[in-house]
Amino acid sequence: MTERISPPGPGGATAPHEVALTVSAPGEVGPLYRRLRGLPDLTVVRQRARPAAGELGVAEVLQLLVPSSAVLAVAIRTLPAFIRSRRSSVTVTMTRGDETVTVTGTNLHDPAQALEFANRLLPRD
């Protein structure tokens, strides 16, 4: 169960695709949210999720409302620089349906790989 803690983009705009984004270090959700919400054509919604069975606390999830694979690829391409700028190791996991992509600071050396990850998460436009 998630609880919205910030409104969607201007005018309540939505996109045809939603991708859930989780961060391994809870303290890095806010900085990543601020970085992603500045990208054009991407709406980012910050939500609280209830913990899974046997877990304590509240997790935060970033919901990306994405109009196309190209916009998602731009968002994915920003992640390695964000991850490398952190003081501790951070991993970002993106999920849509049954498909999951994990981005670390070292697994996106080739810009074309961002498009490959985007295409795995979204159907072709």
Q: What's the whole-number mean pLDDT along residues 67-74?
A: 90
Phi, psi for 35 (deg, rounded to 5): -70, -45
% of the chain surpassing 90 pLDDT: 36
Rounded-to-integer distance, Cα 18 and Cα 16, Å = 7
Please determine, for residue 1, whether its predicted confidence score (pLDDT) is greater than 70: no
Give CA torsion, residues 13, 19, 23, 27, to 10 deg. Answer: 10
